[in-house]
Amino acid sequence: MKTFETIIPFLKKNIGKYIIGILLLITVDIAQLIIPRLMQVAIDRIEMGTIDQVGLFYVGLIILGLSALMVVIRYFWRVIFIGVAWSIDRDLRKQYYKHLLGLSQNFFNRQKIGDLMAYATNDLNAVRMMVGFGMVMVVDITFLTLATASFMASYNVQLTLMAIIPLPFLSLMIIFFGRKIHARFSQVQKLFATLSGKVQEGLSGIRVVKAFAQEKPETEKMSETALGYAEENIGMIKLSQGLFRPLMFLFVSMSMLIVLVFGGSLAILGDISMGEFIAFFQYLGMLIWPMIAIGWIVNMYQRGTASLKRINSIFEEKPEIVDESSDKSIKEIKGNIEVKNLKFKYTEPGPWIFKGISFQIKAGQTLAVVGRTGTGKSTLVDLLLRIYNPPRDSIYIDGNEIFSIPLNTLRNNMILVPQDIFLFSNTISENIRLGKPDATQEEIEEVARKVHIYEDISEFEYGFETIVGERGVTLSGGQKQRLAIARALLTDPSVLILDDALSAVDTKTEKGILKELIDMRKDSTTIIIAHRISSLRHANQIIVLEDGYIAESGTHLQLLRLGGLYRDLYEKQKIEEKLKGRNG
Amino acid sequence: MAKTQRIISEDELQNKIYDSQLFKRLIRYLKPYKWPVYLSFFLLLFIAGAQLITPIITMWAVDDVILSNRELIIFETDEEREDFKQRYERIKYDEYTWEGRYCLVISHRHVDFIDPMEYEQYDEQKRLYENVMFVDKTESNLALLPPEYIFILSEEEIAIPRAKLEELYEEGEITRDELRQLRSQDLSELRIYGAVFLLVIILQMLFTYYQVALINHASQHAMYDLRRDVYSHILRMPLSFFDKNPIGRLVTRVTNDIRTLDEMLSNGLIQLMQEFAILIGIMIMMLVLDWKLALVCFSILPFLTVLVVYFNKQTRKIYRKVRKRLARINATLSEDISGVKIIQLFNQNARKIKEFAEINYAFYKASMEQLKLFAVFRPIINSSRRVAVAILLWYGGGQILQNNISLGLFIAFMNYVDRFFEPINQLSERFNIFQAAMSGTERVFDLMDKTNEDYRVENTQDIQLKGEIEFKNVWLRYNEHDSEENYVLKNISFKVKPGEKVALVGHTGSGKTSIINLIAGMYPFQKGQILLDGKDIHEYSLEDLRRNIGIVQQDVFLFSGTIRDNIVLNKGDITDARLKQVANYVNVHHFIEDLPGQYEEPVMERGATFSVGQRQLIAFARVLAYDPAIFILDEATSNIDTETEILIQDALKKLMEGRTSIIIAHRLSTIQHVDRIIVLHKGKIIEEGSHQQLLDNKGLYYDLYRLQYT
């Protein structure tokens, strides 16, 4: 029963509502059962001639009254039962989201976004169905089946027993077919995914398709899959609508048939009255729904628990990056960073990213990190921010071992502008405000000027209130980068890290921004990772990463004089500048 | 801008559920399958008929067998009886003549046809006996029944009023077994009705199966045809179309949009028709059986219709609201999971959780609204059936009391009323299916209306090119509406002799790729002329053109399938020996031989399991298998291990041999193999010559060389 641990607290919290709901449900069921009995009495009296038009009118009126009562009560049990299910759905989704945000980057690297989203929607949906309609059905079925059967038995036990013979088969059949159809449906879904994949592939390779005049063969290839999908779909529909539904109908009709023939015989022999004979049909109609629902419940329960298990698997994930050994008294960071013989690899059997690097930055200094792609520049800054956990005793900030600094303090004071800029589909000002929600418009504008994006923003129709992203304006790479830097600068962090955050900005603007940066950050630490060496000139210290070690380190001039990797990179970039500047 | 417009137009579509033009185009796809469709409709009528007949069987069983509601009229003379028969032609009867009594037995249901005055008269003259039942005229039966209660009708049958028989049974004059014996005729007749009933439901099941199978065969195959057409249409669109339309959207047209259609065809439409047929059938049956009673039952219909229409409108409104808010949850989840790093880096967890809680709550609120709407209307619609039953009991019961209708008819009406209300519950669901399908159809046919690339099929000659290429003052820009300065190729002129090897060199954006695109006829250009073997490129059919050109792209694209498929590319006439020869020639044979499946080794995820170099070698083999006159290579920029690099260079040398070759070169060794180098910069040709000449020039090439090749 461990699966249900997640939802049991919610169920307990709502126990009162559930009890009221159950009582209401039973009341409705009783009202529902009374109607055929009223009909029976009326018909028997008609047959005997002991009722007149007025009497019939009253019986009709009672039926109307009961129907109205049922409408009212049904409203309430639906709102109670299903409303509780919706509130569980709501609370679980919130809890799920909260849990997700606490998990570390490693977890997100392993998961597909689509899966994580499906848990919060499709799977929660299955769980909601289980605790909502599922619960209703369990109560309804148990009571309605027993009550209806006893009402029927009060007329004639033998006929009752005979009439319900096909019904358990009906439930079994629904369970059986439910599974079969579900499996078949998954198969259809799988083929559909294959089909989508095929189409996606063909269209992605459109250049090859065209270059080799493969339009026709490519269509044939897709057709094969599409035909397979069509056939599988036909198979599933044949099963569900061609076989399952008519069979269900057949079983139900068999019960009716039994009542007609055997009930009819009993009526001929006077064992039951005509009213009772008719009431039997009606009660049978009421029994059929629970029998169908039993099948549903079994399937709903299976899907619900499977979904709940998937959701639980996420809840069971523990965040790797935790504060277990932090010293809560550390509330701020000055910006002295020391890295001592840092060694790191992402996964256990895996290549070393760092085989032992050491360096030191004092508060107020600027460090530049240079190196080819894949030398671990981004990894280095991720470790400084504990996006991944570094080994113990290798990173010290203000003399404190990094694990002793509370995550809150660390991330409030050290801000990273990552390589892949992520902006929320929100207004520009909201995006800039991310780290400092109470910033004034003036502050935002000021910081936008500092990163030379103010002009760009002013040109948009809605200025700072322009929505960016999919549903709004598309920003250029350079604009995105400048916004991201503005967002970081607004928080005025003790340590600012730019991970290749100016690569899409043109050289002139970059120079301007760097000038502002140096000016603004005289007293705080800045770490810059850059490809463009021209932008690193002013750094107090430059380290060149290569093969997991620091290959070269020093100031711009020192490194140029050294004539190594740095010098080589520098020369190449000079040629590139020249080419770019050249006019054809 | 375009994006926003799209959103609006998709919203507009939501309100449309029927568009006759679209529908006609859709139906056209069913044409090839018209016989299954017709047959399926035919079966549909049978199924509807079967659904209508079962209540009637029950009615007959009750009236004629269980209750034995027959009236016996005794006439004094044969003439009188003949006269009666002639006056009431519509009445069905059984005729008996026994010892001077001329009898007619009439079903209770037909009593209505008799003139009430006349009927009254028969009753007064004690010539009318209501509710009589038949008993076999056997010795034992005759012994059980007092002679004053019975009428002998024929050699085999006697009649007795039901009331008298019940009286005898209640007074204990006859035992249960004797009653069973007396009514053995009815009991066995009841079993016959049962058998008919069983037959009908079994037939109905069989018919349903075949009906479903037929219609689905038709609609799924029609949708398969449509899907094929759409896909083939997309593949024939010009490349510029793919630059403008994200692949994801195009995939949706071929997959999801058509899926909404097949769902409508095989699910919504057929069931709607069936339900409609049954609905109409029930109304007709009820009216035929007893029009007054039918109208009384229908009296709640106007009220119900208004309710259902209103309910559907509300449902749609709220459904849209729920979908919108769910979409927001999805969007937020997707965005925040993608941006989780930023959220964590900026310490914004608490705020984001609060924001999500609000969005989540908005969805909950909308869902609760929907729940309450359903909680009000569903029970009301359900109960409307009971209202009909109450009315039926009050009015119909009165009719039974006045002997105007039979109990069996009453039961049949109850059955019909029950079935009548069933489809109403599913109306809004069907509506949604229709709506989705219609907007899907619109999008699909919108796409089908876009013009294809002109393949110039009429020019196909299976021509074998020699491989001479000439560009004469070619200008190209990708977007027709761009300004003059946005030309990516500006006045490009050059000539390549058959068998000559030329390298295109230049910085990013210099126009190298555009030149090879134009040679393969991938884009239309604005000014100038391109000649192949001295003939304008537009005079060749695209197929002839592309068959003579072998392209290897920078990022080699491998299709899923096997290695063999990827080399042969559906060219069926290549033998295994030739395949191996080709692979061997371009140095990829050994690598393939080492794979577990060799040439049948499956290619996964666009060849991600192979290295860049291996993929390039496979692409070389692909070109060689086609043996084109012109070879075009856009060399990979990424690093390739030395061993593979040597294999590639060797293969390249062989491949270029005797073939007009145009290479976008990124490697020094490649560049050293070619006869001539064309240096491009910002869409113009800057320099031309051999490697050494250009180096000596100390111009642009010299710089490029130092940047890229050292």
Same-domain status, A222 and A306: yes
Residues A295 and A383 in one domain: no
Average pLDDT over every residue of A82-94: 91
Tell me whether residues B414 and A278 touch, CB distance under 8 A.
yes
pLDDT at residue number B638: 64
**pLDDT at B12 > cutoff 60:** no
Q: A247 touching B, CB under 8 A? A: yes
Task: Read off the pLDDT band of B4 (50, 70, 90).
Answer: very low
CB contact under 8 A, A113 and B334: yes
The last residue of a domain, from among B171, B196, B226: B171
Looking at the fold, whether A448 and A502 belong to one and the same domain comes out as: yes
Q: What is the CA radius of gyration of chain A?
A: 36
Q: Which residues contact B278 (CB under 8 A, 6 or more apart)?
A: B48, B51, B52, B419, B423
Quote the pLDDT of residue B607.
65
pLDDT-derived band at B609, boundaries 50, 70, 90: low
B9: confidence class by pLDDT, cuts 50, 70, 90? very low
Please indicate, yes or no, whether residues A213 and A125 belong to a single structural domain of this protein.
yes
The parent domain of residue A91 ranges over 2-315
Please say if the pLDDT value at position A277 is more than 80.
Answer: yes
Could you tell me the pLDDT band of residue A73, with boundaries at 50, 70 and 90?
very high
- The verdict on a CB contact (< 8 Å) between B360 and A90 is yes
Instruction: Judge if A341 and A309 occupy the same domain.
Output: no
| Strand B70-75 with A337-344, pairing | unpaired
DSSP B486-499: G-SEEEEEEEE-TT
Longest distance between any two alpha carbons in chain B, whole Å: 139
Please list, residue by residue across A15-46, b when 16 or more beta carbons sit within 10 angstroms of its beta carbon and e when fewer do.
eeebeebbebbbbbbebbbebbbbbbbbbbbb
Q: Is residue B176 a part of any domain in this protein?
A: no
DSSP helix/strand/coil, B671: helix
- Per-residue pLDDT, averaged over A476-500, amounts to 86
Q: Identify the closest residue of chain B to A57 by CA–CA distance.
A: B394
The closest CB to that of B220, out of A233, A257, A278, belongs to A233
B159: helix, coil or strand?
A: strand
Is residue A417 domain-shared with residue A528, that is, in the same domain?
A: yes
Which residues in B lie closer than 8 A to residue A319 (C-beta atoms)?
Answer: none
CATH of the domain at A471: 3.40.50.300
**Are both A362 and A311 inside the same structural domain?**
no
Averaged pLDDT for residues B439-456 = 82
Same domain, A453 and A508: yes
- Among A residues 426-465, those touching chain B with beta carbons less than 8 Å apart: 434-435, 437
CA A36 to chain centre: 48
Task: Look at residue B703 and tell me if it is in a domain.
Answer: yes
B323-337 pLDDT, tens digit per residue, is 888 888 888 888 888
DSSP labels for A415-444?
Answer: EEE-SS----SSBHHHHHGGG-TT--HHHH
Q: Is the pTM of this model over 0.80?
A: no
Give residue B93's identity as a one-letter amino acid code.
Y
Q: What is the mean pLDDT of chain B?
A: 80
Q: Do A254 and A105 share a domain, yes or no?
A: yes
Within 8 A of B463 by CB-CB distance, chain A residues are none
What span, in angstroms and rounded, lies between the C-alpha atoms of B77 and B79? 5
CB pairs under 8 A between A and B: 383
Q: Span A210-218, mean pLDDT?
A: 80
Q: Band of the pLDDT at B81, cuts 50, 70, 90?
A: confident
Token code pair at residue A554: 């020093």
Report the CATH number at residue B600: 3.40.50.300
Count Cα atoms within 13 angstroms, Cβ side, for B659.
23
pLDDT value of residue A65: 92
Statement: residue A583 has pLDDT above 60 = no
Lowest average pLDDT, out of A62-76, A484-498, B60-74, goes to B60-74
Residues of chain B contacting A76 with CB distance shorter than 8 Å: 375
DSSP assignments along B574-637, one per residue: --HHHHHHHHHHTT-HHHHHHSTTGGGPEEPGGGTTS-HHHHHHHHHHHHHHH--SEEEEE---
pLDDT in tens, A541-554: 888 888 888 888 88
> Which amino acid is it at A226?
A
- For the segment B69-89, the average pLDDT, to the nearest whole number, is 81
Distance CA B596, CA B602 (A): 10
Mean pLDDT along residues B581-600 = 79
Pick from A156-160, A336-340, B74-78: least confident: B74-78
Domains in chain A, number: 2
**CA-to-CA distance for B382 and A286, rounded, in angstroms?**
13
Cβ-Cβ contacts under 8 Å, A198 against chain B: 560
Task: Give the list of residues 6+ apart from residue B8 with CB closer than 8 angstroms, or none.
Answer: none
Cα–Cα distance, B480 to B485 (Å, whole number): 12
Nearest CA in chain A to B680: A584
- Which of A124-138, B333-347, B558-572 is the least confident region? B558-572
Q: Is residue B133 in some structural domain?
A: yes
Query: Where residue B199 falls among pLDDT bands split at 50, 70, 90?
Result: very high
Same domain, residue pair A440 and A562? yes
Q: CATH number of the domain at A32, please.
A: 1.20.1560.10
- Rounded CA-CA distance A416/A501 in Å is 10
Residue ending a domain, among B117, B148, B171, is B171
Asked if the structure places residue A347 within a domain, the reply is yes
d(CA B106, CA B71): 5
Whether B393 is covered by a domain: the verdict is: no
Tokens 């990094």, located at residue = A402
> Please, are residues B614 and B591 in contact by the beta-carbon 8 Å criterion?
yes
Q: Count each helix (H run) and each strand (E run) in chain B, helices first.
A: 30, 18
Name residues 95-134 of chain A within 8 A of B (Cβ).
97-98, 100-103, 105, 108, 113, 116-117, 120-121
Question: What is residue B372's three-state secondary structure?
Answer: helix
* CA-based nearest distance B580→chain A, Å: 20
Q: Do A359 and A278 sit in the same domain of this protein?
A: no
Containing structural domain, residue B685:
499-520+541-708
Decide if pLDDT at B637 tops 70.
Answer: no
Rounded distance between C-alpha atoms, residue A145 and residue B625, angstroms: 73
CA of A433 vs chain B CAs: smallest distance (Å): 10
Q: Work out the average pLDDT over B215-221.
A: 88
Query: CB B179 to CB A269 under 8 A?
Result: yes
**Which residue did the predictor score with more confidence, B374 or B269?**
B374
d(CA B181, CA B187): 9
What's the pLDDT band for B3 if we cut at 50, 70, 90?
A: very low
Say yes or no to pLDDT of B45 above 60.
yes
Q: Provide mean pLDDT across the span B279-303.
A: 87
Q: In chain A, what residues touch B335 (CB-CB under 8 Å)?
A: 424-425
Give B113→chain A minimum CA distance, Å. Answer: 22
Q: Are the C-beta atoms of B103 and B72 separated by less than 8 Å? A: yes
Mean pLDDT score of chain A: 84
For A99, A116, A222, B276, B340, the CA distances from A311, given in Å and listed in that order, are 11, 9, 36, 43, 19
Instruction: Name every residue whose Cβ is closer than 8 Å to that of residue A427 and which is 6 or more positions away in sequence.
Output: A462, A464, A465, A466, A467, A468
Whether residue B530 contacts residue B518, with contact meaning beta carbons closer than 8 Å, is answered with yes
Contact B681 A582 (CB under 8 A): yes
pLDDT for residue B360: 92
Residue B167 domain-assigned (yes or no): yes
Residue B212 lies in a domain: no
Task: Compute the residue count for chain A.
Answer: 584
Q: Would A332 be classed as within a structural domain?
A: no
Give A113 to chain B, closest Cα distance, Å. Answer: 7
Strands (E), B45-100: 70-75, 93-98
Which residues from chain A sit within 8 angstroms of residue B506, using beta carbons? none
* B174/chain A closest Cα distance in angstroms: 12
Considering only the beta carbons, identify the residue of A90, A203, A578 that sits closest to B361: A90
Q: How far is A531 from chain B (nearest CA, A)?
A: 15
Q: Is residue A325 part of a domain?
A: no
Distance of alpha carbon B84 from its chain centroid, rounded? 61
Q: Take residue A392 and report the two structure tokens written for it.
A: 């113990």
Domain final residue pick, B171, B200, B234: B171
In a domain, B73, yes or no: yes
Kindly list the residues from chain A whose CB atom is less than 8 angstroms away from the CB atom of residue B242. 203, 206
Instruction: Confirm or reject contact between A15 and chain B (CB < 8 A).
Output: no
Examine residue A575 and state whether it is found in any structural domain, yes or no: yes
pLDDT band of residue B710 (cuts 50, 70, 90) is low
Residue B650: per-residue pLDDT: 81
Strand partners, B503: B663, B677
Is B342 within 8 Å of A233 when comparing Cβ atoms? Answer: no
Q: Looking at residues A244-263, what average pLDDT do you find?
A: 86
Residue A323 lies in a domain: no
pLDDT at B272: 79
Query: Is the alpha carbon torsion for B25, B29, B32, B36 positive or negative?
Result: negative
Q: Which pLDDT score is estimated for B571?
A: 67
Q: CA-CA distance, A145 to B667, in Å (whole number)?
A: 81
Residue A513 lies in a domain: yes
CA distance A222 to chain B (A): 8
Is B377 a domain residue?
no
Q: How confident is the model at residue A581 (pLDDT cuts 50, 70, 90)?
A: low
Name the closest residue on chain B to residue A489, using Cα atoms.
B346
Identify whether residues A37 and A160 lie together within a single domain. Answer: yes
A74 shares contact with chain B (CB less than 8 Å)? yes
> Domains in chain B: how many in total?
2
Domain assignment present for residue A324? The answer is no
**A411 Cβ contact list (under 8 Å, min separation 6):** A385, B344, B345, B346, B347
Closest by CA to A568, choosing from B482, B176, B707, is B707
